[in-house]
Structure 1
Amino acid sequence: MLRHIFHHRGAAEGCAHFCCTKIEDFGVSFGTFEVFSHVSLHVHCGELTAIIGANGAGKSTLLRAILGEVPHTGSLRFVDADDRRIRPVIGYVPQYLRLDLSAPTTVMDLFMACLTARPVWLFPTRSLRPRIMKNLARVRAEHLIGRRLGALSGGELQRVLLALALDPMPNLLLLDEPVSGVDQSGLTLFYDIVGELRAQEDLAILLISHDLGMVARHADKVVLMEHGIAAAGTPCEVFAAPQMERIFGILPDLRHLEMRAAGEGEEGTVWN
């Protein structure tokens, strides 16, 4: 079902006392090829942790391992404030979703397919419309409810996918380069919405991004991956690390990034 693309949950429908995702000594290998190893990371509620790195560093594979889609070594625990295991709801926004954009499918149809087990044409839309409008309002997209998916811009489609990932409201939100290829205005709006959600809903957010300007402005923590963790800390700490220059071939202007972290400036800085 489409619903499983956006949500992974255990027996419980989330937990109000969810506190931390503890990733300890994580590793993933495919045959003899080691994607990454010895990754240890704690993702706390109310914090946005950004994962950066060159292509092929293992960023997306890490998210897939957290979702249970690929086998891994090490341990993964979701715990409350007393370090007791819980079963959280996990929301997931993929980098892209294969859709037939030539079909007459609307945003409403997509939500109905995700929220109901019965065929869309057999389920009355009236009962679910207020719920769908509420979800779309969270991402400033309620005006898109009747729009055809093929008529949406890249930024609009990603906001719709984010709205799907927020029903039910997750404890942990995973974002895999959610605005890749989106124009600057759409990118800024998406990150502003994610920042609001983090503050209002106390979400733990794990974000993969190539846009270092947006990372500096919005992230609480940054993890630089290179088949493992090459550096971790605040944006300024990681951007000042010598590994940044070695991996990206350029040392970012730290003063420029500090201004972005303070909310100044508009343009993002992207390293691919």
Structure 2
Amino acid sequence: MSLIEARGLAVRLGAQTVLSGVDFDISPREIVTVVGPNGSGKSTLLRALIGAVPISAGRVTRAQGLRLGYVPQKLQIDPTLPMTARRFLNLPVRATPRKTAAALERTGAAGLEARQLADLSGGQLQRVVLARALLADPQILLLDEPTQGLDQLGSAAFYRLIEDIRTDLGCAILMVSHELHVVMSASDRVICLNGHVCCHGTPEVVASAPEYRALFGSGTQGALALYRHEHSHRHDHDHDHNHSHEEAH
């Protein structure tokens, strides 16, 4: 059973056709990553799947009562706007203090409730935004380039956190990203998009596909193997190191 399914999806923004003929589905507990060059329609696909932009052709079917959690691209916080992490987590629906504390603990952001959003590091802010998405107890978590602005170590730590959340909470994950070697190593399936679906499949299949290599070259396959080796042998040490390194920035 699919949580979200699209068939023949097309989206026009003004006079421009951004997406055409897109078939997509995601099953419970699956991690699916969408990659593609700038302007390929990645963010538009996410927004079309959740009903945030109208479609011009095709159909999108969502499971009845589907609970969504959404993490947008990096928020731009006005430094003069007084808003604590606690207040942000209670918009638009107030949650209990116990539930907000549990969500922050789950994302590695415990103790940040009273901090001003404008004072948080990039990594801390994204963990708070992720905690807010988890308050909906989502069946599917959608992330639109969530590590934009983070350094490489911070990005790797964040994506490992996403993997842990899928394992612990059992939700599906749909990610959009440009960080090919990190994202593809964390995915069950990859969709390569360039206005339409160029290729799709497991990370290894997509990394060796001619359509993918035409867009990105062949360097990612080696990086993918290296990252998987490091991930499997150094996960615990790297996770702790990356987290502390990220917060220092």
Shorter chain as normaliser: what TM range?
A: 0.7 to 0.9
Assess, with a 3 A threshold, how the Cα gap between structure 1 residues 69 and 252 changes in structure 2: closer, same or farther.
same
Count of residue correspondences: 232
Task: State the shift of 1:55 in Å.
Answer: 0.3
Structure with the larger helix share: 2
| Residue aligned with 1:41, SS | strand
Q: Which amino acid aligns with 1:233?
A: G
- Measured against aligned partners, the alpha-carbon deviations of 1:13-46 in whole angstroms (never above 9, x if no partner) come to xxxxx75321111110123311011111111111
Q: What secondary structure is seen at the aligned counterpart in 1 of 2:5?
A: strand
Alignment of 1:75 with 2:45, yes or no, is no
SS in 1 for 2:101: helix
Paired residues of 2:2 and 2:25 also in contact (CA < 8 A) = no
Residue number in structure 2 paired with 1:261: 228
Q: CA deviation at 1:202?
A: 1.5
Q: Pick from 181, 193, 214: which aligns with 2:182?
A: 214
Percentage identity across paired residues of the two chains:
34
Return the letter of the residue paired with 2:226.
Answer: M
TM alignment of 1:16-165, pairs within 5 A: 19-72=2-55, 73-79=57-63, 86-116=64-94, 128-165=96-133
Is the CA contact (8 Å cut-off) linking 2:4 and 2:49 kept in structure 1?
Answer: no
RMSD of equivalent CA atoms:
1.9
Inter-partner Cα distance in structure 2 for 1:187 and 1:135: 20
2:244: which partner in 1?
Answer: none
Contact 1:93 1:165 in 2 (8 A): yes
Q: Structure 1 pair 213/219, CA: closer, same or farther in 2 (3 Å)?
A: same
Secondary structure of 2:223 counterpart: helix
SS at match of 1:101: coil
In the other structure, the counterpart of 2:136 is 168
Partner Cα separation in structure 2 for residue 142 and residue 226 of structure 1: 39
Structure 2 residue matching 1:227: 3-state secondary structure:
coil
Q: Give the superposition deviation at 1:205.
A: 1.0
- CA distance in structure 2 between the partners assigned to 1:88 and 1:258 by the alignment: 35
Moved more, 188-197 or 107-116: 107-116
**Distance in 2 of aligned mates of 1:140 and 1:78:** 30
Alignment match, 1:7? none
Q: Is the 8 A contact 2:68 2:136 kept in 1?
A: no
Pairing partner for 1:205 from 143, 150, 173: 173
Q: Distance in 1 between matches of 2:202 and 2:17?
A: 27
Structure 1 outlier segments of 4+, above 6 Å: none
Q: Partner of 1:224: helix, strand, or coil? A: strand
Q: Is the 8 A contact 2:35 2:190 kept in 1?
A: yes
2:207 touches 2:221 (CA, 8 Å); kept in 1? yes
1:253 offset after TM fit, Å?
4.7
CA contact (8 A) 2:145 2:175 kept: yes
The answer on whether the counterparts of 2:36 and 2:192 sit within 8 Å (CA) in structure 1 is yes
Check the 8 A contact 2:30/2:188 in 1, yes or no: yes
Distance 2:223 2:76 in 1: 37
Q: How far apart are residue 221 of structure 1 and its match?
A: 0.4
Give the unaligned 5+ runs of structure 2.
Answer: 239-249
SS of residue matched to 2:143: strand
Cα displacement (A) at 1:115 = 2.7
Unaligned runs of 5+ in 1: 1-17, 80-85, 117-126, 267-272
Partners of 1:216 and 1:260 within 8 A in 2: no
2: CA distance, partners of 1:255 / 1:190: 22
TM-score for the superposition, normalised by structure 1:
0.80
Distance in 2 separating the partners of 1:30 and 1:253: 32
Equivalent residue, structure 1, for 2:247:
none
